[in-house]
Amino acid sequence: MKQPLAYIHPAAKIASNVVIDPFVTIEQNVEIGEGTRILSNVTIFEGTRIGKNCTIYPGAVIGAVPQDLKFRGEDTLAIIGDNCTIRECVTVHRGTAARGKTVIGNNNLIMAYCHVAHDCILGDNIIMSNATQLAGEVVVDNYAVIGGGTLVHQFCHIGPHVMIQGGALVNKDIPPYVKAAREPISYAGINSVGLRRRNFSNDTIREIQDIYRFLYLSSMNISEAVERIEAELPATKERDEILQFVRNSKRGVIRGYV
């Protein structure tokens, strides 16, 4: 259902039951899936793909060109999956030649005034609290919860099931299953409450705690801890995921208590 005061480019591909409120602008080369609602004063630029059953609140700007001086007008995308809520004044920029797309997965809640910069990749079931700002090429994995006012440096990687304190300055990678807090950002224990809510068993939570005792509560450096974990702790999905994350980290992982 389109309001007469909305502008929709005739080449945009919009499912028949999408609700579009007045004063919305939708450019060409945009696709919007079934059951989505676009509230008033939203601007959706070309190159945007929005899935099914999303709600985008007033003032949001989706698919604008990136704030990257290397961008040369290449054809890139901003992709939002299904069942996402994009609150007031959120900005999501298209990709650049680096990745070609910015991606927000399924079932995500992006609260008011958040920014998702070019080439960010967000998984599923993520909560970004108000005024969180992601710089370019940040990766956020499934079920991460980011507290309000958090600033994330470009190229950082936030692992799955992570909880980040509000107002944090994130300039290192945050490995899976942990809480990150303080200034500078540091390991503050594992996200046991979140893991229980997602039906992790007590045994699995204890195994994760054992891994992080090697990484953060011993006198070993990260490389030594990784070797000890691999040698002494049984192989599990969670153990191998943590080890792979740490080994693949390009910015280095956050440190322990400071």
* Whether residue 124 lies in the annotated active site: no
C-alpha distances in Å from residue 99, one per residue of 9, 78, 121, 139, 178: 27, 11, 9, 12, 28
Catalytic, out of 21, 68, 82, 119:
119
Looking up tokens 């985008």 gives: 56
**Using the 8-state DSSP alphabet, how is residue 65 labeled?**
P
Catalytic, out of 51, 105, 136, 159:
136
- Dihedral pair phi/psi, residue 206, rounded to 5°: -65, -40
Looking up tokens 């322990």 gives: 256
Question: Kind of pairing, strands 127-128 and 145-146?
Answer: parallel
* Whether residue 136 lies in the annotated active site: yes
Compute the distance between CA of residue 170 and CA of residue 186 in angstroms, rounded to an integer: 9
Compute the distance between CA of residue 33 and CA of residue 37 in angstroms, rounded to an integer: 10
Compute the distance between CA of residue 15 and CA of residue 40 in angstroms, rounded to an integer: 18
Neighbours of 244 (CB within 10 A): 12
What's the token pair of residue 99? Answer: 């990745």
* Whether residue 118 lies in the annotated active site: yes
Give the chain's end-to-end CA distance (angstroms, integer).
55
How many residues can be counted in the chain? 258
Looking up tokens 């919305």 gives: 24
Task: Name the maximum alpha-carbon separation found in the chain.
Answer: 67
With CA atoms as reference, report the closest residue to 174 among 134, 230, 234.
Answer: 134
Catalytic, out of 33, 63, 105, 118:
118
Active site residues: 118-119, 136
